[in-house]
Structure 1
């Protein structure tokens, strides 16, 4: 029997050649959050961050929304999750907002890595799968099975037999 459900949805769009708009939402039985980050692609820097709540379990929960100004100027790089927890986590913030921020930043980081690796929306149209993997291994070596330095048998490969 299910006792709780939470959904997190993330979406990104390019607003110009050097900016991404990343929107995230967290929805469960007690919360409804919306988060927007604007990121400069060339520097991996957060240039704006806003959040809103249309539902929270307590009225005091709404008071943490103004703290997102502290994200402005942060670079999306190794250690950013720890920095955000330091600035906005624990008794200074909301664990659910931190959860949404963590997911949004990991998502954004993946997009920035893809951008730097030359992946675009027409990727499969211009390159064969072997070319995509070879190109990807330059930056993504050993980040997953596809980009593994040496590909053994995938643990789930016998699931489709």
Structure 2
């Protein structure tokens, strides 16, 4: 369903986030993301002698190399465009992510290692969509492994009640996994 027609307006800021998951030949996966911010107008900037309309204000990339358990083995961070000369200096700090596992508690561990002056707001923000892409990229391989180990139910458990469509008292769970369905509750408004 498309968004409703907006009021008359003009664009000022454009952020593009692009994330791709890759399977490597060595049994690991690369999850790579890029963030680019542009303005529709020129902005004053001391370090870059101004930033022209359409020129990237921010242009950054982050690559996580992970295994089937979503454990981070390697990190590459790069800042190609930033408003200040000091911004690229924190790229090496992202090595602090090596050894972490993407899953419950991940964001808190990221904040401990890269919060505030220890990180880059934009690269840290990029970890959110990268985490989702990591999960989606490895979904088939992780499901196959769990089936081989006789633990296929773990996939279902992780999905149940994770969103409105996959609520245990909803029609999708009743249809796809009837053994886990619970009777529908009376819901206000529907």
Q: TM > 0.5 between the two?
A: yes
Corresponding residue for residue 59 of structure 1: 85
2:118 is the counterpart of 1:92: yes
Could you say if the C-alpha distance between residues 73 and 135 of structure 1 is closer, same or farther in structure 2, counting changes exceeding 3 Å? closer
Contact 1:136–1:147 (8 Å) recurs in 2: no
Q: In angstroms, what is the RMSD of aligned CA positions?
A: 2.5
Distance (whole Å) between structure 2 residues aligned to residue 114 and residue 82 of structure 1: 27
Out of 30, 33, 36, the position equivalent to 1:24 is 33
Q: Which stretches of structure 1, 4 residues or more, deviate above 2 A after TM superposition?
A: 109-119, 134-139, 144-148
TM-score using structure 2 length: 0.64
Q: SS of the counterpart of 2:86?
A: helix
**In structure 2, what is the Cα distance between the partners aligned to 1:45 and 1:2?**
39
Change (3 A) 1:147 1:111: farther
User: How far has the Cα of 1:113 moved from its partner?
Assistant: 4.9
Is 1:104 the counterpart of 2:113? The answer is no
Other structure's SS at 2:73 match: strand
Q: Distance in 2 between matches of 1:54 and 1:88?
A: 19
TM-score by length of 1: 0.74
Q: CA deviation at 1:7?
A: 0.8
Matched length = 138
Flag the structure with higher helix content.
Answer: 1
1:62–1:38 CA distance, 2 compared to 1 (3 A): same
Unpaired runs of 5+ residues, structure 1, are 120-133, 154-161
Q: 1:140 Cα shift?
A: 1.1
Unaligned runs of 5+ in 2: 1-9, 39-56, 146-152, 173-190
Task: Indicate which of 65, 69, 81 corresponds to 2:107.
Answer: 81
